Amino acid sequence: MAVLDIVKYGDPILRKVCNQVSDLSNLDQLIYDMFDTMYEAEGIGLAANQVGQDMNLFIIDIAHTEESVEPCVYINGKIISSKGESPFEEGCLSIPEVTFEIIRPEFIHFKYQSIDGEWHEKEIGGLLARAIQHEIDHLTGKMIVDRVNDVARLPFKKQLKTLAKESKQRLNNLA
Ligand code: NI
């Protein structure tokens, strides 16, 4: 197991619509590493493209909250429908030290595959629904900065610019 580098704001892989996963047989190492990475960074969710993998896969662990939900891997997830509306302060491991109040649907009807390949369809609410929507955003190339207006973004303008610059430098060093 290993802690992976978390891709930061400005890296183009965070703007991709990620590929569906067709072969679920070789994901164990990636998933272990993603959990290690998420726990090390003290996050509650992590999408595959945040560790540089172009695949529709994310993990969530909110077991430490009041909601008793097991840590889980979600593959090829799709939000079928949603309802309600609630505001919540969200952060993102790819945009350190930046939080925004984001309004999202409160309940979702969500379809996904578990690691054994089984399909599941569930009505989900609360923090889990919130986290799933955040991760599904990642896998469709969206981030929390896209969910707020210019005025909300204003206090973080400099931080975002710096992050984008660092991502660019990192990519140039790899090239
Ligand atoms: Ni995020």
Q: What is the CATH number of the domain that holds 16?
A: 3.90.45.10
The answer to the question of residue 169 being in a domain is yes
Q: What is the pLDDT of residues 34-70, one digit of tens each?
A: 999 999 999 999 999 999 999 999 999 998 886 678 8
Q: Does a structural domain hold residue 150? A: yes
Terminal Cα-to-Cα distance of the chain (whole angstroms): 26
For residue 125, what pLDDT is reported?
95
**Does some domain include residue 153?**
yes
* Confidence label for 175 from pLDDT (cuts 50, 70 and 90): confident
Does a structural domain hold residue 37? yes
Neighbours of ion ligand 1 (CB under 5 A): 92
What is the distance in A from the centroid of ligand 1 to the CA of 45?
7
H or E stretch at 139: helix 126-139
Give residue 139's domain range.
12-174
Which tens digit of pLDDT belongs to each residue from 77-119? 999 999 999 999 999 999 999 999 999 999 999 999 999 999 9
Whether 135 is a known active-site residue: answer yes
Chain position carrying tokens 């930061």: 8
For the chain, how many structural domains are there in total?
1
**Could you tell me the distance, in angstroms and rounded to a whole number, from the CA of residue 134 to the centre of ligand 1?**
6
What pLDDT sits at residue 67? 65
Residue in 67, 106, 135, 166 annotated catalytic? 135
- Characterize 42-57 residue by residue with b for buried, 16 or more Cβ atoms within 10 angstroms of its Cβ, and e for exposed: ebbbbbbbbbebebbb
Q: How far is the CA of 131 from the centre of ligand 1 (A)?
A: 9
Residue 4 belongs to a domain:
no
Q: How far is the CA of 138 from the centre of ligand 1 (A)?
A: 7
4-43 pLDDT, tens per residue?
999 999 999 999 999 999 999 999 999 999 999 999 999 9
The answer to whether position 5 is within a domain reads no
Q: Rounded distance, CA 39 to CA 147, Å?
A: 25
